[in-house]
A and B are shown apart, each in its own frame.
Chain A
């Protein structure tokens, strides 16, 4: 089965009010080309589930978001995401704020088709107070109480990977997969952008298949967009674009998101976007971060 499609095809499958999971972590391996395509579309009222970075910030700034399910939203080297911050401080969005691990458990519960996973995470904190729907339950096996972390069922997941074939076999060679495998499994439909589109035989060489973390049945569509994670990183292919993130961050103080959007995204193809940020060759030269 050939699952290749365009970014516009992916966004064409999104509906107002859907719950959308976004892979990656902070400024790392985010499906930013798909985010830009959403920003250019009419889609709105999304519930976004993410280990958030500029993906969440941009969607909030553009008014695409009804609710964010998050443990953090951060650009790492710029700790606070400027537009998520504005959205919160203006009370523009609903939120479900949970522990990082609770999000993982919620994705697992969705992936496994179970209503919740019991956990100690969140007990004794405001997480169980501010999330009115979050239930604390007794255990049938011990005398403690447990948080019943509900399944985070996703209508769609958006991911970016190093490479994929047209059938949706996806490879991530960066040091961390983050929770992308669980985002893929927790969603009804999973759409993946890839830096490189490869022949199926590629995976049969050496240990290449060891870097494939979910089976192709969990992938709905494949979009070939080299550099598609920019300005986030796709380690080991390229690092994140520090100057670009700084400009994005500064835009929140001067000019606002509309100016950033008009400069880089509005009426702009992905190829044109890449030319504006220095070209694909420059993206591929972005240095890896040193932690």
Chain B
């Protein structure tokens, strides 16, 4: 079957929400948002999602082709202040795209390089990363797997808590931290390796474990046998097409590569 890498990543990311139960699924960026939407339409129909503005929906909005004021299936108001009430309750799983991720699963979207007082590149700021990471489940989406994202040592600015014993707050255990999947353009990983080490879960078709290891700035755990990431089904591709009728997903990854690169 023909499918694009973007579609493979949507389906692989969608799987992260499968066993979440009734939580708010937040996908930041088009592919994570389509992933959460696909999960809500298929593997976990109990998920909750917003319109990315201020309403909770009983059915996800399409990510393309909507017009201003077009009707949507709102079920309650969900402005930013109420998002925090949800975040702090823990009933949320966010999939976010950090600029840096380190060996502990600590992540950064704040600033890089230079010093903290005078960074080389100021980015967004820590946004909701500190609160999200200590309150609820988080997954990471990385559209370009390389050692500038998966950095050696620690992130330049640790914006979210990870499995770092040195930074563990009093009264917490590492098991209180809940980082789920890491989906990249090369593979799927999680932090269930020895001592919460990042480990390879599946390789996308045509990608080798060596490529992943070379593209990661720190050691990861590679099991003896690593399965291939499951290809999208026709049913999944049909739903993705309904959710993204204008095919915005084709513009997310450079040159819109095919899903199978072997």
Contact = CB atoms under 8 A, between A and B. Distances in A.
Classify chain B's interface size: 35 or more
Interface string B149-182: 0000000011111101001111110000100000
Residue of B69, B123, B130 ringed by the most chain A CB atoms within 10 A? B130
A100 B81 CA distance: 10
Interface residues of A, number: 49
B171 A178 contact: no
Given A89-B114, A143-B170, A239-B68, 9 more contacts: A71-B128, A72-B127, A99-B127, A100-B131, A101-B88, A104-B84, A124-B158, A177-B81, A182-B81
Interface in B57-90: 66-70, 77, 79-81, 84, 87-88
A289 B67 CA distance: 9
A168 B106 CA distance: 45
Interface in B111-152: 111, 114, 116-131, 133-135
A287 B68 contact: yes
Given A91-B117, A175-B55, A175-B79, A290 B122 contact: no
A127 B126 contact: yes
B69 A176 contact: no
Nearest to B69: A288
A253 interface: no
Contacts of B42: none
Residue of A88, A136, A143 ringed by the most chain B CB atoms within 10 A? A88
Contacts of B69: 288
A70 B69 CA distance: 31
12 contacts: A73-B124, A85-B121, A97-B126, A101-B128, A120-B131, A124-B164, A124-B169, A125-B106, A136-B169, A145-B170, A175-B53, A175-B77
B67 A176 contact: no
Q: List 8 tightest A-B contacts by C-beta distance, closest first.
A: A144-B171, A124-B161, A175-B54, A91-B118, A88-B122, A291-B52, A72-B125, A99-B130
B260 interface: no
A120 B171 CA distance: 11
B46 interface: no
Contacts of B167: 124-125
Nearest to A80: B123
